[in-house]
Structure 1
Amino acid sequence: MRPDIDSIEARAIDWLIRQRDPAFDDWEGFTDWLGEDPDHAAIYDAVASLDQDLGALPPAAKPMAATVPTTPRRASRRGWFGGAMAAALVAVVGLSTLNPFGSADRIETAAGEQRTIELADGSRIDINGGSVVEIDKDRPRFARLESGEAMFHVVHRDKDPFVVETGSDRIVDLGTAFNVVRRERQTSVAVSEGIVLYNPDRDKVRLLAGKAIEVRDGDRKAPVVQDVDVASIGGWRSGLLVYNGAPLAVVAEDLKRTAGMDVRIAPAAADLSFRGALIIDKNRGRTIADLAALSGTRAQRQGDGWILTR
């Protein structure tokens, strides 16, 4: 093995170990390191994969007590940064070929269910759980997100822009990929490729890749454009949710939509915010353990779900 590869592997192991600490918050530095060299992501993926495979061994094969770990696992973060992303997309696209929709122009997904639809012009819409998307066969370059979340991958046409409506907002593509969330009286837009125009007839906000906005209905102030990590946009498709100071109630809503998890926030913890990344683990208890550890809360089982308290 070449010395430079040895060094990268050592650094990857260091990142993995540091991410086990609930107080770890250098996600920006981690993302920058991944982007420095394609080998960084590939080697980190291999190290994390090996770590997870060892963690998946049956208890009898592991030289440790068979107790539930209190430290959240970070290895599965490779789901976004590594090859698991491609596998996740293949799985989702496969669902679309079954065409299980009740209506050809209205797609509704249950909590924890994700679907993909291919449009006639070659554009694609990845739809998260708990969402409603409407398309119109007479308007092939149009979609409406009534509620929930969807990632749009749009084939650009100069003379025929693709329009997404949600609430009272209009989003016009300029050849791009972007994620839209429609919560109660609020719209969020984040662009991972290209450019979109937000409300071109009213607000005239131009969003480039790596930019995002959150706007509440009726807000008369101009939308504030924020920087966002491109790698995190649409991360729900591979089970990665990234936040930068989001209220715990928003995180709970996203977990319900993306993973079908019932998470409630106790009144005493309602004012807490969350900064960090969550992996939707097959063992949902691990995801909750991560959230509790990183947010400074305690998770208690409540019926089929959990409640977070201070």
Structure 2
Amino acid sequence: MTKARVDLSTDTAEDPHEQASQWLLRLRSGAASHADADAFRDWCAKEPAQAALLSGTWSALRTAAEEIAQEVAEEKRIGVSSWADAALRRRKVNTGRRAFVGFAVAAGASWLALRPPLGLWPSVGDLAADYRTGTGEQRQFALSERVTVELNTQTRVNLVSTRTAGRGIELVAGEAEIHAAAPAPAQAAYLRPVTVVAGRGRIEAAVARVNIRKMGDQVCVTCLSGTAMLDHPIRRASLRAQEQVIYDDRRVHPISTADAAQVTAWRRGVLVFDGVPVSQVVAEINRYRPGKVILRNATLARNRMQAQFPIAKVDDVLDMLAKLYGAHVTRLPGDIVLLS
């Protein structure tokens, strides 16, 4: 059965909230196509007053959907049997929120929680993690008296059961730095390595600092100090300080030398681009800023960029792309930016 597309060009909805509902229905695949982005841009140009109102609506939708996702995650933990059962537990929501919840049910609330359009708010998977960071957020927690974990932006971590892997974590997505300090002399005989599961790999380190980054099924492990061991179904690899290995589900790349200062730049609040394609620059920007930057120019995507920027000023990167390569920057409601 072919799914009907929502056509906003006919202006069938006059209320900005209803138009926001229709746009979310159009974006329910989880990623806007070029045609969708063009249509949204044209609509904003045609209806500037409503587009301005829509900016506030996007913010409200994001807030409401975050709350919905949090509730779904909580219901997942306690075992609520269905969305209908869950709805009965939310009768006392305020009037404004009720309107958005009603919209969410009509649009498919489970989809809103599981697959937020353009990643504009956290999914249930994000919120169900033992530890997580939002866009642009960093946080630290202690795994034990001598092991600390620093999480970069958009990172999800689950604790690993001591019955299966000792004291450790699973890096579901994102980036983390693990610091396993040396034990006190009296406890040296009882030293146990910290374990990090990432994809199909398992990294163990007794006394070390290790940075691990997981994007999709690709994992990059950098040993900053001490030593670390990677156990992968393909092969095992031992890493010393300043060494790095990249792997995915199917292969383990050769060990290479790493620039520790560049790998840990995020700990200093800096983004470093060293001859990186613009497509990769945009992907990195999207990890640190709300909304979404959509790259629509294949030629621009292939250009390489060398620069450093404070994380707090990632939008300056977009201005530099405009100056260096003549990129056209279109800013839309919801912190959506088109680069063409």
Q: Residues 249 and 268 from structure 1, CA distance in 2 versus in 1: closer, same or farther, beyond 3 angstroms?
A: closer
1:298 counterpart SS class = coil
Asked if structure 2 preserves the Cα contact closer than 8 Å seen for 1:279 and 1:287, the reply is yes
Q: Give the Cα separation in 1 of the matches to 2:207 and 2:171.
A: 19
Q: Is the 8 A contact 1:112 1:129 kept in 2?
A: yes
Please give the per-residue CA displacement for 1:72-98, whole angstroms capped at 9, x wherever unaligned: xxxxxxxxxxxxxxxxxxxxxxxxxxx
Confirm whether residue 149 of structure 1 aligns to residue 175 of structure 2.
yes
Structure with the higher helix share, 1 or 2: 2
Deviations 1:164-203 (A, max 9, x none): 0011111111421121111112111122212211226752
1:248 paired to 2:278: yes
In structure 1, the partner of 2:265 is 235
Q: How does 1:189-268 map to 2 (within 5 A)?
A: 189-199=221-231, 202-219=234-251, 222-260=252-290, 262-268=292-298
Query: Does the CA contact (< 8 Å) of 1:171 and 1:196 recur in 2?
Result: yes
Residues 232-269 of structure 1 deviation map (CA, whole Å, 9 limit, x = unaligned) = 22211222222444443333232222344632222414
State the shift of 1:285 in Å: 3.1
Displacement after TM superposition at 1:161 (Å): 1.2
- State the one-letter code of the partner of 2:172: E
Written as runs of structure 1 = structure 2, the 5 A alignment for 1:39-188 is 106-136=130-160, 138=162, 141-156=167-182, 159-188=191-220
Change (3 A) 1:288 1:125: same
Following the alignment from structure 2 to structure 1, what is the Cα–Cα distance between the partners of residues 203 and 254?
16
After superposition, the C-alpha distances for 1:255-300 in whole angstroms (9 at most, x for unaligned) are 2223446322224147515453431354443232345567x46251
Deviations 1:44-75 (A, max 9, x none): xxxxxxxxxxxxxxxxxxxxxxxxxxxxxxxx
Q: Which runs of 5+ in 2 are unaligned?
A: 1-125
Judging changes above 3 Å, is the alpha-carbon distance between structure 1 residues 292 and 152 closer, same or farther for their aligned structure 2 residues?
Answer: farther
Conserved? CA contact 1:289–1:299, under 8 Å: no
Counterpart-to-counterpart distance in 1, 2:304 and 2:202? 29
- Residue 235 of structure 2 aligns to a residue whose secondary structure is coil
Greater relative contact order, per chain length (Cα 8 Å cut-off, separation 6+):
1
Cα distance change on mapping 1:118 and 1:134 into 2, 3 Å:
same
Mapped partners of 1:156, 1:181: distance in 2: 24
8 Å CA contact 1:127–1:150 kept in 2: the answer is yes
Cα 1:102/1:268, change in 2 over 3 Å: closer
In structure 2, distance between residues paired with 1:226 and 1:302 = 40
Aligned residues: 205
1:92-129 alpha-carbon deviations (Å, 9 max, x no partner): xxxxxxxxx977x7012211111110122321111112
Do the aligned partners of residues 265 and 149 (structure 1) sit closer, same or farther apart at CA in structure 2, a change above 3 Å counting? Answer: same
Q: Is this contact kept in 1: 2:167–2:195, CA < 8 A? A: yes
**1:152 & 1:234 partners in 2: Cα distance?**
12
The one-letter amino acid paired with 2:177 is M
Q: Offset at 1:154?
A: 1.4
Unpaired runs of 5+ residues, structure 1, are 1-100
Query: Secondary structure, in 3 states, of the residue corresponding to 2:282?
Result: helix
Q: Name the % identity.
A: 22
- Structure 2: how far apart are the matches of 1:281 and 1:241? 6
Aligned mates of 2:254, 2:166 — CA distance in 1: 31
Taking only aligned residues, the RMSD between alpha carbons, in angstroms, comes to: 3.0
| Secondary structure at the counterpart of residue 256 of structure 1 | helix
**Matches of 1:115 and 1:174 in 2, distance apart?**
22
Find the aligned partners of 1:132 and 1:164 in 2 and give their Cα distance.
13
* Structure 1 CA distance for aligned equivalents of residues 228 and 149 of structure 2: 16
Aligned mates of 1:280, 1:288 — CA distance in 2:
13
Q: Please name the residue that 2:8 is paired with.
A: none
